[in-house]
């Protein structure tokens, strides 16, 4: 396994080891001691999967506020997506910055997103299966979200969406920008935890 740092500390891209032959392949998708040795210290308690039928499906940008904040280890097991993490920790030196990476069934890549980040993805193919491990349980009252095209963040979906009208949920269409969102993350509080 190879772990790559991104321009935002703590957000990591993981290239898993894949062993293949004429029958198919095998890859280890999580091994706690190996991931901890690589700097990923999350006690995962829930696994989730989503399915998106259409290319151009855009899910996000979402998070859960404290005390139900979640770190995520995400992967795409069928199809292709562009996955995005946005630093929403008020006071962070990288507040409002974002990192993107392509995840696919071919590259077997994973993306680790710490607590304090908004997360979203755009499907680039039909019939996408997306999986993620989280280190805290789902809590509806702690849900947070912002527009996928929030002007304060300016994720470059444009080139990815060229000629495609994004497929959004009603909730995502109605989401506020980052300034008006219910974001409760504060950088100083998080670095002392």
pLDDT of residue 164: 77
Residues with Cβ within 8 Å of residue 24, at least 6 apart in sequence: none
- The CA-atom distances, in angstroms, between 118 and each of 77, 125, 185 are 21, 23, 10
Q: Is 184 a member of any domain?
A: no
53 burial type by CB count under 10 A (0-12 exposed, 13-18 middle, 19+ buried): exposed
pLDDT of residue 43: 96
Q: Which residues are catalytic?
A: 62, 132
List the chain pLDDT tens, one digit each, 193 residues. Answer: 999 999 999 999 999 999 999 999 999 999 999 999 999 999 999 999 999 999 999 999 999 999 999 999 999 999 999 999 999 999 999 999 999 999 999 999 999 999 999 999 999 999 999 999 999 999 999 999 999 999 999 898 877 777 778 999 999 999 999 999 999 999 976 655 5
5 burial type by CB count under 10 A (0-12 exposed, 13-18 middle, 19+ buried): exposed
Q: Is 125 a member of any domain?
A: yes
Q: Is 94 a member of any domain?
A: yes
Q: Is 187 a member of any domain?
A: no
Q: Is 77 a member of any domain?
A: yes
Distance CA 89, CA 152 (A): 13
Query: Which domain does 83 fall in, by range?
Result: 2-174
At 104, which CATH number?
2.60.120.10
Q: Is 100 a member of any domain?
A: yes
pLDDT of residue 163: 76
- Reduced to 3 states (helix: H, G, I; strand: E, B; else coil), residue 140 is helix
Q: Is 190 a member of any domain?
A: no
**Tally of domains in the chain:** 1
Q: Is 183 a member of any domain?
A: no
Return the beta strands (E) in 41-181 as ranges: 46-52, 58-64, 72-78, 80-87, 98-104, 109-113, 117-123, 128-134, 143-145
Distance CA 44, CA 64 (A): 15
Distance CA 190, CA 24 (A): 42
Model-level pTM? Answer: 0.93
From the list 1, 71, 70, the residue with the least C-alpha distance to 29 is: 1
Residues with Cβ within 8 Å of residue 85, at least 6 apart in sequence: 8, 11, 98, 99, 100, 111, 113, 117, 118, 119
CB distance 116 to 70 below 8 Å: no
Residues with Cβ within 8 Å of residue 139, at least 6 apart in sequence: 64, 68
Residue 141: phi, psi to the nearest 5?
A: -65, -20
């Amino acid at each position: 396994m190879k772990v790559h740092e991104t321009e935002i500390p703590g957000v990591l891209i993981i290239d898993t080891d894949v062993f293949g032959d004429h029958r198919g392949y095998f890859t280890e998708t999580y091994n706690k001691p190996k991931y901890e040795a690589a700097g990923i210290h999350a006690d995962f308690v829930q696994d989730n999967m989503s399915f998106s039928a259409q290319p151009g499906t855009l899910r996000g940008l979402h998070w859960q506020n404290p005390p139900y904040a979640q770190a995520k280890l995400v992967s795409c097991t069928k199809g292709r997506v562009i996955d995005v993490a946005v630093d929403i920790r008020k006071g962070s030196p990288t507040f409002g910055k974002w990192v993107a990476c392509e995840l696919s069934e071919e590259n077997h890549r994973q993306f680790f997103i710490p607590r304090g980040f908004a997360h979203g993805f755009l499907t680039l193919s039909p019939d996408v299966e997306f999986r993620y491990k989280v280190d805290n349980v789902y809590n509806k009252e702690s849900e947070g979200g912002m527009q996928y095209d929030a002007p304060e963040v300016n994720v470059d979906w444009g080139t990815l969406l060229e000629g495609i009208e994004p497929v959004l949920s009603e909730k995502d269409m109605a989401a506020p920008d980052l300034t008006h969102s219910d974001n409760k993350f504060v950088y100083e509080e998080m670095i002392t935890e």
